[in-house]
């Protein structure tokens, strides 16, 4: 009886993280040279690629900071770090959701399962 409750709470957490990421998607379009489709890709592979892109931008921004470069922007650096933290949290939540769904035998490749799928499992 406890398993569906925990699984439901993971889905709610995943949806909350998704909402936070969607609200931060506008930030990413200003921070990174990415197509909207690349930012909108919310699969595990898409998130990993997005995180790798953010990490490259963070490395470049840190290099500019250490060198005292005139183009260094503290606000951009902070926004990149917030985006990186947000995307890493979303990836962890998605992996946990996939692992718990896999343990229950649910296929969530098309998205989070419905309530009827959860209750029947």
Domain that holds residue 93: 2-120
| pLDDT for residue 111 is more than 70 | no
Tell me the pTM: 0.67
Structural contact between residues 16 and 86, judged by C-beta atoms closer than 8 angstroms: no
Q: What mean pLDDT is predicted for residues 90-108? A: 77
Residue 106's pLDDT is: 60
- If we measure between CA atoms, which residue out of 50, 47, 72, 51 comes closest to residue 60? 72
| C-alpha–C-alpha distance, residues 94 and 43, integer Å | 8
Number of structural domains found in the chain: 1
The 10s digit of each residue's pLDDT in 2-29 is 445 455 555 555 555 555 455 556 678 8
Under the banding of pLDDT at 50, 70 and 90, the label for residue 1 is very low
């Amino acid at each position: 009886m406890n398993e569906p409750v925990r699984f439901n709470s993971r889905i709610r957490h995943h949806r909350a993280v998704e909402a936070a990421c969607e609200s931060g998607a506008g930030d990413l379009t200003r921070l990174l040279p990415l197509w909207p489709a690349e930012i909108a890709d919310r699969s595990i592979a898409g998130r990993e690629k997005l995180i790798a892109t953010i990490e490259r931008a963070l490395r470049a921004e840190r290099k500019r900071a250490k060198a005292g470069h005139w183009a260094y922007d503290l606000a951009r650096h902070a926004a990149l770090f917030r985006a990186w933290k947000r995307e890493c949290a979303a990836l962890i939540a998605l992996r946990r959701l996939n692992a718990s769904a896999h343990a229950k035998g649910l296929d969530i490749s098309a998205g989070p399962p419905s309530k009827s799928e959860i209750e029947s499992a």
